[in-house]
Amino acid sequence: MELLLQQIFNGIMFGSTYAIVALGLTLVMGILSIPNFAHGHLYMLGGYITFFFISATGLGFWLSMLLSVITLGLIGVLMERMVYRPLTDQPHINAFIAAIGALLFLEALALVVWGPQGLRIPNPYPQNIQFLGITMGLQRLLVIGGAAVLILCLHLFMKKTLMGTTIEAVAQNREGAMLNGINVNRVSAITFGISSATAAIAASFLSPIFMLSPSMGAILGMKAFIIVILGGMGSIPGAILGGYILGLIEALGGGYVSAAYKDVFAFGALIVILSFKPTGIFGKKEA
């Protein structure tokens, strides 16, 4: 029983990260139809930038995180402008190739600047809490709580602010939004910025308990991609739910069934679900 609870806790923690990262990706994929396969690598870069601010400037964890989020947001805007916008009118597969180019570039950049060794950010909250027989690291609880707050903020932003509703309008009908005088390019840039900033938040929360390495984003990026498709492209509740489901499948599958085939469960679940619902759980019928 304790083991089960512990695994559920682990699963929720995984799921929180997946949810944040997938959330950022679903915005970009749903609204801009950009298959941003480099999203996981933006997450990696976010972690390194937080590390940079902590180690080079001596700023505290929270301030460094804030700076990193801003920096990555700007990098996101830049990336949309330089890599994806010129490809707007081309087939999606070309944007996918550009994404592969971008991720190779980012990974090589991290390797050149910070080297291949794993780097650590000192854990600001190393304490542990015992509860119902399960052990919970404070930083891990922070990841879960932080994800929940972030999801709430993003929800309020999308529903209550003009910018948020504009983004949604563009997602629903790009041409229509354009006819209504919305500057679609500006919306694209802002969306990309927000998406990258959320990746930096996820990376900053996690890097004190994990380790930074240039290739850390590859698998996460792929999983986020899968979650987005699983939930339905562009669907925010889909990304959140998909993230938590994947986290739980992995923790329980890896803990109870087979650790070696852990990822097979996650990827297999996607195939099964898409076989029954070809456009994802919350997906709209594709035109």
Is residue 112 within the footprint of other proteins (CB under 8 A)? yes
Is residue 132 within the footprint of other proteins (CB under 8 A)? no
Region binding other proteins by CB under 8 A among candidate stretches 68-76, 145-153, 179-187, 273-281:
273-281
**Do residues 49 and 200 make contact, with C-beta atoms less than 8 angstroms apart?**
yes
CA dihedral for 261, 262, 265, 271, sign (positive or negative): negative
- Give the whole-angstrom CA distance, residue 17 versus residue 143: 7
Residue (of 251, 252, 263) closest to 219 by Cα position: 263
Region binding other proteins by CB under 8 A among candidate stretches 101-109, 158-166, 173-181, 188-196:
101-109
Q: In the bound complex, what is the minimum distance in angstroms from residue 223's beta carbon to other proteins?
A: 10
Q: In the bound complex, what is the minimum distance in angstroms from residue 79's beta carbon to other proteins?
A: 10
Is the CB of 108 or the CB of 156 nearer to other proteins?
A: 108
Region binding other proteins by CB under 8 A among candidate stretches 162-170, 192-200, 237-245, 272-280:
272-280
- Give the whole-angstrom CA distance, residue 207 versus residue 123: 8
CA dihedral for 243, 191, 285, 282, sign (positive or negative): positive
Report helix, strand or coil for 134: strand
Residue (of 6, 243, 4) closest to 136 by Cα position: 6
State phi, psi for 136 to the nearest 5 degrees. Answer: -130, 120
Work out which of 229, 236, 239, 241 binds other proteins, going by CB under 8 A: 229
Work out which of 11, 208, 238, 243 binds other proteins, going by CB under 8 A: 11
C-alpha count within 13 angstroms, C-beta hemisphere, residue 271: 6
Strand segments, DSSP code E, in 100-250 are: 128-131, 134-137
Is residue 106 within the footprint of other proteins (CB under 8 A)? yes
Work out which of 132, 149, 278, 284 binds other proteins, going by CB under 8 A: 278
Residues in 143-202 at the binding interface with other proteins, rule: CB under 8 A: none
Burial group, residue 242, by CB count within 10 angstroms (0-12, 13-18, 19+):
buried
Report helix, strand or coil for 128: strand
Work out which of 60, 62, 128, 161 binds other proteins, going by CB under 8 A: 128
Residues in 24-53 at the binding interface with other proteins, rule: CB under 8 A: 29, 35
Work out which of 57, 62, 105, 284 binds other proteins, going by CB under 8 A: 105
Is residue 87 within the footprint of other proteins (CB under 8 A)? yes
**Exposed e or buried b per residue across 141-175, where buried means at least 16 C-beta atoms within 10 angstroms of its C-beta:** bbbbebbeebbeebeeebeeeeebebbbbbbeebe
Is the CB of 177 or the CB of 228 nearer to other proteins?
A: 228
Residues in 252-271 at the binding interface with other proteins, rule: CB under 8 A: 254-256, 259-261, 263-264, 267-268, 270-271
Q: In the bound complex, what is the minimum distance in angstroms from residue 119's beta carbon to other proteins?
A: 9
Q: In the bound complex, what is the minimum distance in angstroms from residue 264's beta carbon to other proteins?
A: 5
In this structure, what token pair is assigned to residue 202? 């996820």
Is residue 22 within the footprint of other proteins (CB under 8 A)? no
Q: In the bound complex, what is the minimum distance in angstroms from residue 28's beta carbon to other proteins?
A: 12
Burial group, residue 139, by CB count within 10 angstroms (0-12, 13-18, 19+):
buried
Is the CB of 77 or the CB of 106 nearer to other proteins?
A: 106
